[in-house]
Amino acid sequence: MARMRKKLLFKMPKPIIARIIHCIEPIICMVIIATVYIYIPDSFGCTQFTCITEDGNTTYGCYNDTRADPEAEPNVIHYKCNKGSMKKTGTMWYTNGTYNEVATLLLLPGEDAVKNLFSRNTHLNFGFPSVACVLVLHFLSVSWASGTAVACGILVPVV
């Protein structure tokens, strides 16, 4: 990416054009990445909450979370999905709502997304296609953004 950028800027007939492109590239990068991050969750459907009950069975329409405040709702992005209603029994939430896996990983702050991925009892919340899509998007956006004129660095969530 950096080599292609240098070759393109070196071939410019006037140095002023190269400087203008050098200044405009971060804006173009930001607009394209933001647009992709906002619209890519549309290609993934809504997912029901899934949890494992005390007897070890997988159940749909529930969310169990023993580490959080008992009155806290799950930290997910509904993104055009039905929020539904929730009721609590012990450490188990029962809901008829749904959420978008990709929107939860892309639109939450980095720290919250990492907590969702690595928290106890959340391994059923994200499927392989959504995690793979987010990995590819982050890799491509970091590869492009880290070489621009702005010293943005690598996008590493705070853990």
Question: What distances in angstroms separate CA 60 from CA 67, 95, 120, 125, 152, one per listed residue?
Answer: 20, 9, 17, 11, 41
Question: What distances in angstroms separate CA 30 from CA 7, 11, 138, 142, one per listed residue?
Answer: 22, 24, 13, 11
Number of separate helices (H) and strands (E) present in the chain = 5, 7
Q: What is the pLDDT of residue 126?
A: 86
Taking only the tens place, the pLDDT of each residue in 122-133 is 777 888 999 999
pLDDT at 97 over 70: yes
Buried b (16+ CB within 10 A) or exposed e, 20-36: eeeeebeeebeeebeee
pLDDT at 154 over 50: yes
60 residue type, one letter: Y
For residue 123, being part of any structural domain is answered with yes
Residue with tokens 């010293």, as numbered in its chain: 151
Taking only the tens place, the pLDDT of each residue in 49-74 is 777 666 777 777 676 655 454 444 56
For residue 31, being part of any structural domain is answered with no
Domain that includes residue 132, residue range: 45-138
For residue 83, being part of any structural domain is answered with yes
Exposed / middle / buried, residue 94 (Cβ in 10 Å: 0-12, 13-18, 19+): middle
For residue 25, being part of any structural domain is answered with no
For residue 128, being part of any structural domain is answered with yes
CA–CA separation, 23 vs 16, rounded Å?
11
For residue 38, being part of any structural domain is answered with no
pTM above threshold 0.85: no
- The residue count for the chain: 159
CA–CA separation, 70 vs 64, rounded Å?
10
Pairwise pLDDT comparison (89 vs 46), residue with the higher score = 46
For residue 64, being part of any structural domain is answered with yes
Question: 58-60 and 50-52 as β-strands: parallel, antiparallel, unpaired?
Answer: antiparallel
Out of 3-7, 90-94, 111-115, 154-158, least confident range: 154-158
Q: What is the pLDDT of residue 71?
A: 44
Count up the domains in the chain and report the number.
Answer: 1
* SS percent in the chain: helix, strand, coil, step 5: 45, 15, 40
Pairwise pLDDT comparison (1 vs 82), residue with the higher score = 82
Q: What is the pLDDT of residue 72?
A: 45
Report DSSP state, residue 40. G
Q: State the average pLDDT over residues 135-139.
A: 90
For residue 34, being part of any structural domain is answered with no
